[in-house]
């Protein structure tokens, strides 16, 4: 089951082609961290 998805243009490596997919086990601590406010130069939520 997909719990979270982030789709968009994020920071990439120079001259990187293609796509990146990350799959991991989501425990309660990680879920809290992913849902926390974030404000950086290239990503905010």
CB count, 10 Å around CB of 30?
13
Pick from 2, 1, 3: nearest CA to 35: 3
Rg of the Cα atoms in the chain: 13
Alpha helices in 1-45 (DSSP H): 28-35
pTM above 0.85, yes or no: no
pLDDT at 13: 74
pLDDT at 36: 95
pLDDT at 8: 83
pLDDT at 1: 85
The one-digit pLDDT tens for each residue of the chain (45 residues) are 888 888 887 777 777 777 888 888 999 999 999 999 999 888 888
pLDDT at 10: 76
């Amino acid at each position: 089951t997909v719990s979270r998805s982030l789709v968009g243009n994020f920071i990439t490596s120079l001259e990187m082609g293609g796509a990146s997919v990350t799959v991991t086990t989501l425990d309660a601590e990680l879920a809290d961290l992913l849902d926390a406010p974030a404000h950086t130069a290239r990503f905010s939520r």
